[in-house]
Chain A
């Protein structure tokens, strides 16, 4: 369980970190909390010669909340997301989801940036950020650019981020007041990835659903933002028929594989149940 040797770097600012990535190309990897990367290095499935630790870079920290948006630094940990009462007041869905990630020790180290940038379909934050319509800021040798979470994920571990870019911040539009929310996750035990998970936002207006967003986790090789499933709720009272239509549409949009969490049919079934629960709870909370 000892990784192969590497050189350790701890740059003080973003430009130096990007410089190290430029200098060493695909021999270099950044490390945030390291709770995905270090296990992979120990198994010798991740091979690198230069490890670039981002912990000293002040630009990657902090949570900023304005009337319209929340901006979270890539190095903000899951524990800090849970611990922030201001964030829980602005977007309660984030605390609800973060509490379902891994275990306490992992949440003290695991970061939002690492979780969204890694591209592991098992990670919870990518689907959550797609549900919320977040945008990722990337910094590279040619400056910065922004990519929507909904178009960031290409395949398992493949994202729109280039090798020499670092994901620096996540910006999330604040859902309108009274928007109902839920993150439901089925897992075999604490610390496991989801068998199926669903993030749901529902805004009601005059008894009808005015706006909805649905995303599913660990049910395809990328998170699945189920646009058509959410559309099946809009304009309805979210009655049984609309709920059923949304679930059927979402289950048709996922593409799970058989693994030690169960066969495809089981995952489709669990996905439907979990999404149903998330819709019900989001609706209950909508006002």
Chain B
């Protein structure tokens, strides 16, 4: 099978590469591009550790062929840091509220939380739990993940208000 030539924007940078059509996006990101933020948890669309943002949608990059992402605009957890490399708001709130223990699910959690807060800047606890239901964590019991996301909403809203 001949390789596909694909181009996409990842974390604001245009990248291109060659890959077999059967390559999953997660493998292209990690192995071809060295972007190892998105993790491979279950590789069966269940756990959400591989979640990335693609054209304004949270997607599981283990359930997407690289060709499907050709031309897409993708953000991984690496793209959610501040311009100076310091932790972005959601990342900082996960640190502050202990929204992780082993940390394996965290890149998916943060990337998904980013999209959730874009769509619903003031979510209730129930909204957060429903909106995060595609991401599994085997350590925390979710309590502090929910807290971290709620705190992120407060911080982001305060920043927005101050700017207005």
Contact check: which of A5, A39, A55, A191 meets B63 at CB < 8 Å?
A39
Q: Indicate whether B162 reaches chain A with its CB closer than 8 angstroms.
A: no
What is the bound-complex CA distance between A190 and B132, given in angstroms? 11
User: Known contacts A79-B57, A105-B58: does B45 contact A35 (CB below 8 Å)?
Assistant: yes
**B interface with A by C-beta (< 8 Å):** 1-2, 4, 20-22, 24, 43-46, 48, 51, 57-60, 62-65, 67-68, 70, 112, 116, 130-134
Most interface-central of A8, A51, A53 (chain B CB within 10 A): A8
Number of CB contacts from chain A to chain B under 8 A: 82
Q: Which residues of B contact A39 (CB under 8 A)?
A: 44-45, 63
Q: Which residues of B contact A53 (CB under 8 A)?
A: 67-68
What is the bound-complex CA distance between A264 and B116, given in angstroms? 39
Q: Indicate whether A157 reaches chain B with its CB closer than 8 angstroms.
A: no
Q: Indicate whether A242 reaches chain B with its CB closer than 8 angstroms.
A: no
User: A-B pairs with the 5 shortest C-beta distances?
Assistant: A103-B134, A108-B57, A8-B21, A5-B1, A8-B67
User: Do residues A104 and B133 form an inter-chain contact, with CB atoms below 8 A?
Assistant: yes
User: Do residues B1 and A109 form an inter-chain contact, with CB atoms below 8 A?
Assistant: no
What is the bound-complex CA distance between A222 and B68, given in angstroms? 30
Q: Which residues of A contact B51 (CB under 8 A)?
A: 105
Within 8 A of B (CB), among A17-34: 31, 34
Q: Indicate whether A7 reaches chain B with its CB closer than 8 angstroms.
A: yes
User: Do residues B1 and A7 form an inter-chain contact, with CB atoms below 8 A?
Assistant: yes
Q: Indicate whether A2 reaches chain B with its CB closer than 8 angstroms.
A: yes
Q: Which residues of B contact A4 (CB under 8 A)?
A: 22
User: Known contacts A5-B21, A5-B22, A191-B46: does B1 contact A105 (CB below 8 Å)?
Assistant: no
What is the bound-complex CA distance between A53 and B72, given in angstroms? 14
Q: Indicate whether A266 reaches chain B with its CB closer than 8 angstroms.
A: no
Contact check: which of A1, A51, A105, A191 meets B21 at CB < 8 Å?
A51
**Other contacts beyond A1-B62, A38-B64, A109-B63: 9, CB < 8 A:** A1-B43, A1-B44, A3-B22, A5-B1, A6-B22, A38-B63, A104-B133, A108-B57, A109-B64
Q: Which residues of A contact B45 (CB under 8 A)?
A: 35, 38-39, 105-106
Contact check: which of B22, B65, B70, B133 meets A190 at CB < 8 Å?
B133
